[in-house]
Amino acid sequence: MIRKVKKANLSKTVCVLTILLLLCILTVGCAEKITRGDSVTTDAGTIGSGSQDASDSATGRLDITTTAQNGSLGDDPFWDSTALLTARILKTGKSDCTLITAPDAVILIDAADTDDYELIDSTLQAQGVTAIDCMILTHFDNDHIGSAGAIIRNYQVKNLYIPAYTRVSENYRAMLAAVQATDTPVQIVTEDVTFSVGSVSLALNPTHLYDDIQPVTIDKDDGSTDAEENNFSLITALTYGTQKLLFLGDAEKERLAEFNKSALAKDTYALLKLPHHGDNNGQLRKLLGNTKPSYCISCVASSHNMDVTLTDAVRLYGAWHYATYDGTVIFRTDGTQVRIAQEN
Task: For residue 40, count CB atoms less than 10 angstroms from its CB and return exposed for 0-12, middle for 13-18, buried for 19 or more.
Answer: buried
Q: What is the pLDDT of residue 282?
A: 72
Q: What is the pLDDT of residue 35?
A: 28
Q: What are phi and psi of 30, to 5 degrees?
A: -70, 130
Give every residue of the chain whose pLDDT is below 50, as ranges. Answer: 1-73
For 269-278, give one letter per residue: b (16+ CB within 10 A) or e: bbbbbbbbbb
Q: What is the pLDDT of residue 278?
A: 58
pTM of structure:
0.79
Can you point out the beta strands (E) in 181-328? 186-189, 193-197, 200-205, 217-218, 235-240, 243-247, 271-273, 295-298, 320-323
